[in-house]
Chains A and B, each alone.
Chain A
Amino acid sequence: MTDGTPLCPECDADVDMPLDAMENELISCAECGIELEIMSLDPIELELAPEVEEDWGE
């Protein structure tokens, strides 16, 4: 983490957080494209988002 910027748990790149970021929001790493879940905002904790399951959808 540089200057409070979180790192991607997959590729170690800095991850830009949305200004209106929320806990449990899904975001993408701009560097490697992987989907991440914001587990905590204070302190910022990112985890790899769960794999898409067969019943996921709309």
Chain B
Amino acid sequence: MRVALLVTHIRAEEKLILAAFNKRDISPDIILDRELNFDISQGSEQLAPSGSAWSAYDLIFERCVSTSRGMVALAVLNSWGVRSFNSFETAAICADKVRTSIALTQSGIPQPHTRVAFTPDSAMQAIEDVKYPAVLKPVTGSWGRLLARVHNRDSAEAILEHRQTLGDYNHHIYYVQEYVDKPGRDIRAFVVGDRTIAAIYRASNHWITNTARGGQATNCPVTEQLDEICVKAAEAVGGGILAIDLLEDAQGNFVVNEINHTMEFRNSSEPTGVDIAQETIDYVIEQIEVIA
């Protein structure tokens, strides 16, 4: 089996993934996204930076920290019939919070009340529709970057003015959610295929609980209820290897907040006792063997 690991650079997760492949006697070629140079019309017989034809690979495992590069690469490779985890379709939905919200809505999965608007005036109305405090998020973004919790009209006006002055048009798509008053923590669950293999609580005194921002990880039991909503959420975005972020509302019900398609997990195997990298890679190998 020939596998390529597509990366921006090597982080702790990629080393764990490589070790998990090695344990199954597979040595992936490492391909850097900075070296990609696709001739889109020439198909999968052209050479990858590794020197092998793209068509020689049974699987491209996409782990780019650059969302845009990963997405473009998957779009090209999948169009040529080169198989990847995750698929372009899944990545495209997860990378876009609006598309994720639409997919969750279509599958009837609970999520925070969400609105989207395009101008400061309509965004102000959207914020007041979901009521204060509201949360403003970039449509594409991660690690809690540029999230804003808005408590009143004054702060809403200030944040909207700042967002409007940012040059990138993506900042002018105002994705507005109700603030869920969670109990000082959220949940990150890891779904591999049709199983929730592990979950962690991410606790923080700050309302942003990402471990990238200092949230502390502890084991979260994978109950039947948690597994069910996570697997449904994963299916809603096309399935694959996904991290589902959930909040618990005041009644203790789960709502799905975000879905990540190139998940980080370095802080999650130890508290859960689950070898997330190995579980993931064993699933990937099984899927490829089924197709072969």
Q: What is A's interface to B at a CB cutoff of 8 Å?
A: 20, 22-26, 37, 49-50, 53-58
| Cβ < 8 Å to A, chain B residues 83-106 | none
Selected contact of A58 from candidates B9, B10, B168, B262, CB within 8 Å: B262
- Most B Cβ at <10 Å: residue of A50, A53, A58: A58
Residues of A with C-beta under 8 A to B145: 54, 57
Cα–Cα distance between A26 and B66 once the two chains are bound (Å): 14
Residues of B with C-beta under 8 A to A57: 65, 67, 141-143, 145, 260, 262
Contact A54 B141 (CB under 8 A): yes
Bitwise interface map of B from 191 to 207 toward A, beta carbon under 8 Å scored 1, else 0: 00000000000000000
8 contacts between A and B (CB under 8 A): A23-B10, A24-B7, A49-B9, A56-B65, A56-B143, A57-B145, A58-B260, A58-B263
Q: In this assembly, does B222 line the interface, its C-beta being within 8 Å of a C-beta of chain A? A: no
Contact B10 A25 (CB under 8 A): yes
Residues of A with C-beta under 8 A to B261: 58
Residues of B with C-beta under 8 A to A23: 10
Q: What is B's interface to A at a CB cutoff of 8 Å?
A: 7-11, 15, 30, 32, 65-68, 140-143, 145, 168, 243, 260-264
> Which residue of B has the minimal Cβ distance to A20?
B15
Contact B68 A55 (CB under 8 A): yes
With contact pairs A57-B67, A58-B263 given, residues A22 and B10 touching in the complex (Cβ less than 8 Å): yes
Residues of A with C-beta under 8 A to B66: 53, 55-56
Contact B264 A54 (CB under 8 A): no
Contact B67 A56 (CB under 8 A): yes
- Most B Cβ at <10 Å: residue of A26, A50, A56: A56
Residues of A with C-beta under 8 A to B264: 58
Residues of A with C-beta under 8 A to B32: 24
Contact B142 A58 (CB under 8 A): yes
Contact B142 A24 (CB under 8 A): no
Residues of A with C-beta under 8 A to B8: 56
A26 to chain B, nearest CB (A): 5
> Which residue of B has the minimal Cβ distance to A53?
B66
With contact pairs A24-B30, A24-B32, A25-B15 given, residues A55 and B10 touching in the complex (Cβ less than 8 Å): no
> Which residue of A has the minimal Cβ distance to B11?
A26
